[in-house]
Structure 1
């Protein structure tokens, strides 16, 4: 996994390497962040609203 900055939370979430530099759609829910590329879900991350952190799974 490679860490890429995404979204309005100003957090860092990891995505599979093949999607780095590409366009993704990010859907924010209360506790999770869903990341899609080409209409396919490529990652789900736990959303945190605490201090800025890097999330890598």
Structure 2
């Protein structure tokens, strides 16, 4: 079973890989739309990437 930290690291790695975000910008409190500028189409891409 994955811990909260494992899940966060997986999400951060995907965000960095897919959207070339600075890992320092990604935190548990970051809002995808406002803080990381991820739109709805990007969010779908993120979900698809994580499912694989």
- With normalisation by structure 2, the TM-score equals 0.28
**Which protein has the bigger helix share?**
2
**Which protein has the bigger strand share?**
1
- With normalisation by structure 1, the TM-score equals 0.28
